[in-house]
Structure 1
Amino acid sequence: MATLTITRLGHQGDGIAEGPVFVPRTLPGEVVEGDVAGGRMAAPRIITPSDQRIKAPCPHYRNCGGCAVQHAREEFVTDWKQDILRHALSAQGIEAPFRAPHISPLHSRRRASFAGRRLRNGALVGFHARASDVLTAVPDCMILHPALIAALPMLEDLTAREGSRKGELTLSLTISEAGLDLAVTGGKAPDGPVRATLGQWAGQAGLARLAWEGEVIAQEQPPFHTIGRARVTPPPGAFLQATKPAEAALQAAVADAVGPASQVADLFAGCGTFALTLAERAEIHAIESDGAMLHALDAGWRQAVGLKRITTQTRDLFRNPVLPEDLARFDAVVIDPPRAGAEAQAKALANSRVPVIAAVSCNPVTFARDAKVLIQGGYRLNWVQVVDQFRFSPHVELAAQFVR
C-alpha cells in the first residue's frame, strides 16, 4: 500500500505522482492511497481531496470509459485543455495568443459509436470501461443528444436479433436532418436473407439509412446535413464534427482566419465542412483522399444556390502533398488533417508563398510539430483557439491562423 501526492494531470486525464505513477480520476494536490502495480494505482482512495473536485454529475461515470474528468470543476477542465495545447507548443519553442475557447453544451453530441453484445436474454449496448472489454449501458448519458439516447432500445433490439455472443457489433449512429443514420460493423455477412431481414427491420425502426458492413441495406430518404447553403449526404460512417455548435465555432474560426481570400485550397476537405461555407465568398479547390466524401461535397455544392465554384480532387496528401508551385494560385489554405497531422504537407506549405493558413487539428502534439515547420518556413502563428466538443474527455481540438 502506497501513499502518493498527485503533482499534475496528464494528457489522458490521469493524475501523475512522482515515479511516475499514474492514478486515474485524481487531481493535482490530492493525496491518495492504494496498491501500485506497473506504474499505476488502479483503485485509489482519496485521502485529501482537491478543492477542484466535485461529485461527478453523471450516474454512469464510475463504470463508463467515455469520460475522464467529470470529477473536476468545469473551469479547471477548460484550463487543463488549454494547457495541453500550450505545453505542446512550448515543447516546440512556440508561444501564441489564445482566443476564448468554445465549449459545446451538454446533450449536444450528434454522433456516437456504441458497442453491442448479444446476451443470453436480450442485449447490452453502451460504452466500454476504459482499457477494458466491460460494457456499460448509458441511458442517462449527459453528453449524447436526446435523440441518440432515445435510440438505445432500438440498438439493443438489433443487437439481440443480429449480434453474436462471441463478438461485438459496432453501432455508429448519427443524427441527420432526415432521421437517424446507422452504420454497423462486426456483424454477419449481408447475404440475401440477412439483407431482407435488415431491410424490414430498418423500415420498422424508422431509420433514414441503414448500412451493414459498408453496404447500404435500406434508405428511406437521404440522411442529409445542412452545411452553409448546401445539403450534404455523407457516405455511411463518414466523419462529421461531433456537435453542431463546435462545427459552427470551427467554421467561424476558419472564416476569420481566411479573411477576404478569393482563391482557397481546402486540404483534407472531407464532406465540405469548410469548403461549403467558404464558397459563399471564395472559389474553393477541395482535396480529400476519400472519393465518396468528395462526391458528397460535390453533389451538395451542385444543388446549392449562391455558392462560388468548388472543384474537387481525390489525392493522398500524406504520400502526395500539394507542392509549392501548385499552391501559388491560392491566397489562403485551409488544412484539417487527422490525428497524425500533416508533416509532408506542412513542409510543402512552408516552402510556398501562400499568405495565410487556417489550421484545424484534433491533436495538439502533431499540430505543434507541424506548426514548427511552418514557422521555420517563415510563417507566424497569430492565434489559437481550443474547441471542446468532447466534454469531460482528454480530447482537444483547435483552430489557428498562420500568416506569412
Structure 2
Amino acid sequence: MSSETLTIEKIGQSGDGIARGPFGPVYVPFTLPGETAVLAVNRDKGTVMSMSEISPERVAPKCRHFGPEGENGTCGGCTLQHASDNLYQGFKRQLVIDALKSKALVAEVAPLVLADPGERRRTVFTARRTEKELLLGYNQAESHHIVSIVECPIASPGIVSRLATIRTVALAMAVNAEPFRITVLETLSGLDLSFEGIKAMDNAQRRQVIETVLGARSIARVSLNGEILVEPQKPLVEFDGVSVSPPPGSFVQATKPAEETMAALVIAHLGKSKRVIDLFAGSGTFSLRIARKARVHAVEGEDKALKALDQAARNTQGLKPVTVEKRDLFRRPMMASELKVYDAIVFDPPRAGAEIQVKEIARSGAKKIVAVSCNPVTLVRDLRLLVDAGYRITGVTPIDQFLWSSHVEVVATLEK
C-alpha cells in the first residue's frame, strides 16, 4: 500500500477512472477524467483519500446509497451516477466505437438511445437475515457486504413502492443467516419473485410463505430455485400485444423501452423477409413480434422458456406460423445447410457471444442478419466473422438499458 497523487486520464470499461501510476494503470472508482486526487494505492486499485482537482462534469448522485458516502455503505448497483449526462452518454457510445475499432470494423455508430430513471422492471437483489432485520439491496462492489436500500432510482416505481412487501416475503423465505438472491420482475399482473440460494424449506415454512404472499396481493408468483411455491396470478408480459408468461427466473429484458427499441430495429431491418430464424429466442421477445409479419422458427436451449413462447404463439390469433426447436446452440449450432432456407437471421446470445454459431451463419448466405448483444467485445468478434464472409454492416445502435452502469446493449444490422 502506498500514497500517490495522481490525475485521472479516462474512464475504463468497468466505469472506474484510470490514472497512470508509477508501475502501471491504477483503477479508481467514483472518479472522472481531469480529477487529481491523493490515492491509497494497492497494486492496481486506488481509493480516494482527498481530491484537489474536481471535474466540472461531476454532478450530485441521484441516490443516497451511491458512492463512498452512501448510506449503509457503497452500493454496487451503479458506478456512474457522479458523471454528467454528457460525459456518461459519450462514454457509453465510445465503448461501442472502441470495440469496433479493435477489430478494424468500419461502421457508423448511431447516437446512444437514452435510458431514464425508474424504467427497470427487472432487477436482482441480495438479501440476508440478521438477528435484528432482513438486509435487502445490492452487494458493495467486490464485496459480500449488502447495502440495504430504501430507494433505487433505476428501478420502476412498482418495485420501489413494494420494497417493504419484498422484504416481508424474503423474511418468510430466509431459513438461516446465509445470503440469497431475489430476481424481481414487475409484470402486468404483479411482482414475480424468483429466489435462489436458499436450501430446502420444511412444510411449515412453505405454508408461512404462501400465507404471506396471499396476504400481500401485489405478488403474482414466488418461486425457489425454479420451483413455483405459490402463484396467485400468472405473471404476464407483452411482446407487441402477445401475452407471455415467462418461467420463473427466466431472462426478460431489464426495461420495456429498451426492449421496444431493440425490437423496432430488428423488425425494420427484416423488412419484407418471409422466413426468419430467431436464435437464442428466449420466451419470444423478438420471435412473437416477427410473427406479425413473417414465418419464424424460434430456437432456444431453455425448455421452459421455449414452452412459454410456443404457448403464447398458439394462444394468439393473427400471427404467421411459429415453429420452435429446443437446441443448445453452443454445443450443437444450427448448421449453414439448415440456415439456407431462411431469408433473415436474428441472434441474441448471452454475454459470451455466439462464435461457433456465427461461423455457420457466415456460411449460410442469408440476405439479412440482425445481431443483438449486451457485450460490445464479443459482438465485434462475431461481426468480424460475418464481415470477413462478405456481409456489410448497415447499422450499429447502442442502447442504454442499464442506467449509470458500464453495460451497453447494441443492435447491429448486416446485409449480404
TM-score (norm 2): 0.95
SS of 1:330's equivalent in the other structure is coil
Q: For each residue in 1:147-199, what CA deviation from the matched residue of structure 2 results, as whole angstroms up to 9, or x when unmatched? A: 11122112222333332553112111111101111111122313433322222
Aligned equivalents of 2:123, 2:48: Cα separation in 1: 28
| CA positional deviation for 1:32 | 1.4
Q: Find the partner of 2:40 among 32, 35, 39.
A: 35
Q: What amino acid is the match of 2:135?
A: L
8 Å Cα contact 1:257-1:400 kept in structure 2: no
Aligned equivalents of 1:23, 1:102: Cα separation in 2: 27
SS of 1:61's equivalent in the other structure is coil
The 5-angstrom pairing of residues 296-315 of structure 1 reads 296-315=308-327
| CA positional deviation for 1:209 | 0.8
Q: For each residue in 1:326-368, what CA deviation from the matched residue of structure 2 results, as whole angstroms up to 9, or x when unmatched? A: 1111000000000000000110011111011011000000001
The 5-angstrom pairing of residues 46-65 of structure 1 reads 46-62=51-67, 63-65=74-76
Instruction: Show the counterpart of 1:12.
Output: 14
2:388 is aligned with 1:376: yes
2:51 is aligned with 1:75: no
Q: CA RMSD in A?
A: 1.2
Instruction: Show the counterpart of 2:71.
Output: none
Aligned equivalents of 1:167, 1:155: Cα separation in 2: 17
Instruction: Show the counterpart of 1:367.
Output: 379
| CA positional deviation for 1:383 | 1.1
Aligned equivalents of 1:345, 1:267: Cα separation in 2: 9
Q: Find the partner of 1:347 among 341, 345, 359.
A: 359
8 Å Cα contact 1:23-1:44 kept in structure 2: no
The 5-angstrom pairing of residues 176-187 of structure 1 reads 176-187=187-198
2:5 is aligned with 1:3: yes
Aligned equivalents of 1:306, 1:361: Cα separation in 2: 29
Instruction: Show the counterpart of 1:190.
Output: 201
Instruction: Show the counterpart of 1:403.
Output: 415
Q: What amino acid is the match of 1:151?
A: R
Kindly, what percent of the aligned residue pairs are identical? 37
2:131 is aligned with 1:126: no
Q: Find the partner of 2:307 among 295, 304, 307.
A: 295
Q: For each residue in 1:290-321, what CA deviation from the matched residue of structure 2 results, as whole angstroms up to 9, or x when unmatched? A: 01101000111111121101000001111111
Aligned equivalents of 2:64, 2:343: Cα separation in 1: 50
8 Å Cα contact 1:264-1:334 kept in structure 2: yes
Aligned equivalents of 1:294, 1:221: Cα separation in 2: 21
8 Å Cα contact 1:3-1:34 kept in structure 2: yes
Q: For each residue in 1:97-133, what CA deviation from the matched residue of structure 2 results, as whole angstroms up to 9, or x when unmatched? A: 1223211221110011111111112211111111111
Q: Find the partner of 1:155 among 158, 161, 166.
A: 166
Q: Find the partner of 1:235 among 243, 247, 254.
A: 247
Instruction: Show the counterpart of 1:277.
Output: 289
Instruction: Show the counterpart of 1:110.
Output: 121
Aligned equivalents of 2:49, 2:61: Cα separation in 1: 16
**Gap runs ≥5 in structure 1:** none
Instruction: Show the counterpart of 2:70.
Output: none
SS of 1:36's equivalent in the other structure is strand
| CA positional deviation for 1:325 | 1.0
Aligned equivalents of 1:191, 1:57: Cα separation in 2: 42
Aligned equivalents of 2:413, 2:224: Cα separation in 1: 40
Q: 1:44 to 1:339 in 2, by over 3 A?
A: farther
**Gap runs ≥5 in structure 2:** 68-73
Aligned equivalents of 1:119, 1:192: Cα separation in 2: 22
Aligned equivalents of 1:42, 1:35: Cα separation in 2: 5
Instruction: Give the length in aligned residue pairs.
Output: 404
Q: Find the partner of 2:95 among 78, 81, 84.
A: 84
Q: For each residue in 1:31-50, what CA deviation from the matched residue of structure 2 results, as whole angstroms up to 9, or x when unmatched? A: 11121111111234221111
2:184 is aligned with 1:173: yes
TM-score (norm 1): 0.97
